[in-house]
């Protein structure tokens, strides 16, 4: 027998929103005539609070078997808005940080620490680390003031940005991002995710999961195989290894691949990019943003993945036909030193999902 955890999460979310069968009020903040501080009462279920939060388990245990009518949660900088996010996480294990400013994320991390929500703490800490040095430097006094030194990745990053010489961001502690690739490693996908977030102006940065759609050496490399496995899958990441040189090239397409019977059909996007990874020194890797968004993605039934006006085009069978090419057209800079045709040793296409934290 299998359990639908997504449905279970939705049921708990509905329970929170409806307040049905609630047996306790949580007063967030204290009313004060002098300070005009906002306070509100959240309706909750003591059993869920005890089960999901060690903080509330300890608070409620003081009352024995009785459930108090109200408990007060009055912590500095934990606004009703932030507490609602924490309470929702307690109920359904999800959190969405996309509408929060960086300072609010810092306060949310502190609130998660108070409530002893370890997995949420780990997730938010990773979010902050992905932001890298700029925002950490801007808010370093806030981070130190809130006593967040217990977070090892964040503490290491704070120590780094306070040094005279700033360590290169890609060498800083980074979250684990899993990708089932035979062509790239963890450090490479971390860099690619940073590019996706930077070019998409994601604030806070998104985390992603990667689902392998096609490995040419396993599933076939023909255009027919590509479209059968990769069309209409939303955002995708392409990773290529060049046969003769071992170069790792690739591209991020935020829109669908699809078949087009006509030649030279282009689809528009402003957030696609192509890249070349320098395996010896990632600092020297090349990322090339689209500059002609009307010709960002080329679609054709009889062609493989193609970015721009052949800025990156994959064509032909693996290890045999030199039909693939990189020639600058729609993207800001070339990703190879040569515009000659080349042979592909292997390539992979991954479906890219924005990751919403879900703890089951």
Q: Looking at the structure, do residues 246 and 304 belong to the same domain, yes or no?
A: yes
Answer with the one of 141, 171, 201 that is the final residue of a domain.
171
pLDDT tens digits along 62-76: 888 788 888 888 777
Q: Do 307 and 313 meet the contact criterion of CB atoms below 8 Å apart? A: yes
Answer with the one of 119, 136, 171 that is the final residue of a domain.
171
Cα–Cα distances in Å, from 261 out to 65, 127, 174, 265, 300? 70, 43, 43, 9, 6
Q: Looking at the structure, do residues 158 and 190 belong to the same domain, yes or no?
A: no
Name the burial class of residue 94, with classes exposed (0-12), middle (13-18) and buried (19+) by CB atoms within 10 angstroms of its CB: middle
pLDDT tens digits along 220-238: 989 899 999 999 999 999 9
Among 327, 200, 348, which Cα is nearest to 269's? 200
CA distance 225 to 223: 5
Q: Do 120 and 93 meet the contact criterion of CB atoms below 8 Å apart? A: no
The pTM assigned to this predicted structure is 0.58
Q: What mean pLDDT do residues 182-200 have?
A: 88
**Main-chain dihedrals φ then ψ at residue 116, nearest 5 degrees:** 60, 40
**Residue 127 pLDDT > 90, yes or no?**
no
Which of 72-81, 103-112, 136-145, 348-357 has the lowest average pLDDT? Answer: 136-145
Q: Looking at the structure, do residues 166 and 200 belong to the same domain, yes or no?
A: no
Q: Looking at the structure, do residues 11 and 153 belong to the same domain, yes or no?
A: yes
pLDDT tens digits along 261-291: 777 899 999 999 999 999 999 989 999 999 9
Q: Looking at the structure, do residues 156 and 203 belong to the same domain, yes or no?
A: no
Q: Looking at the structure, do residues 150 and 31 belong to the same domain, yes or no?
A: yes
Residue 309 resides in a domain = yes
pLDDT tens digits along 308-320: 999 999 987 777 7
**Residue 194 pLDDT > 60, yes or no?**
yes
pLDDT tens digits along 34-60: 555 556 788 888 899 999 999 899 988
Question: Which position has the higher pLDDT, 153 or 82?
Answer: 82
**Residue 25 pLDDT > 50, yes or no?**
yes
Residue 88 resides in a domain = yes
Range of the structural domain that residue 65 is part of: 5-171
């Amino acid at each position: 027998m299998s359990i639908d955890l997504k449905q279970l999460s939705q049921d708990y979310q509905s329970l929170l929103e409806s307040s049905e069968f609630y047996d306790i009020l949580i007063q967030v903040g204290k009313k004060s005539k002098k300070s005009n501080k906002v306070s509100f009462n959240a309706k909750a279920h003591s059993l869920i609070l005890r089960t999901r939060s060690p903080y509330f388990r300890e608070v409620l245990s003081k009352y024995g078997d009785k459930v108090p009518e109200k408990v007060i949660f009055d912590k500095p900088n934990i606004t009703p808005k932030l507490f609602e996010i924490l309470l929702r996480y307690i109920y359904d294990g999800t959190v969405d940080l996309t509408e929060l400013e960086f300072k609010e994320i810092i306060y949310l991390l502190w609130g998660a620490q108070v409530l002893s929500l370890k997995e949420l703490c780990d997730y938010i800490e990773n979010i902050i680390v992905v932001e890298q040095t700029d925002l950490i430097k801007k808010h370093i006094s806030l981070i130190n003031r809130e006593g967040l030194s217990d977070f090892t990745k964040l503490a290491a990053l704070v120590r780094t940005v306070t040094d005279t010489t700033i360590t290169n961001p890609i060498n800083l502690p980074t979250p684990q991002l899993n990708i089932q690739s035979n062509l790239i490693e963890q450090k490479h996908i971390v860099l690619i995710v940073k590019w996706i977030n930077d070019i998409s102006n994601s604030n806070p940065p998104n985390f992603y999961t990667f689902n392998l759609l096609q490995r040419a050496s396993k599933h076939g490399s023909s255009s027919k195989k590509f479209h059968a496995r990769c069309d209409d899958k939303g955002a995708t990441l392409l990773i290529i290894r060049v046969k003769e040189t071992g170069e790792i090239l690739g591209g991020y397409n935020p829109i669908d691949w699809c078949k087009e019977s006509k030649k030279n059909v282009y689809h528009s996007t402003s957030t696609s990019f192509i890249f070349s990874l320098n395996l010896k020194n990632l600092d020297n890797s090349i990322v090339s943003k689209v500059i002609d968004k009307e010709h960002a993605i080329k679609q054709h039934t009889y062609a493989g993945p193609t970015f721009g006006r052949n800025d990156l085009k994959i064509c032909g069978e693996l290890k045999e036909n030199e039909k693939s090419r990189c020639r600058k057209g729609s993207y800001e800079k070339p990703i190879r030193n040569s515009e000659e045709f080349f042979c592909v040793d292997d390539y992979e296409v991954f479906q890219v999902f924005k990751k919403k934290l879900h703890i089951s």
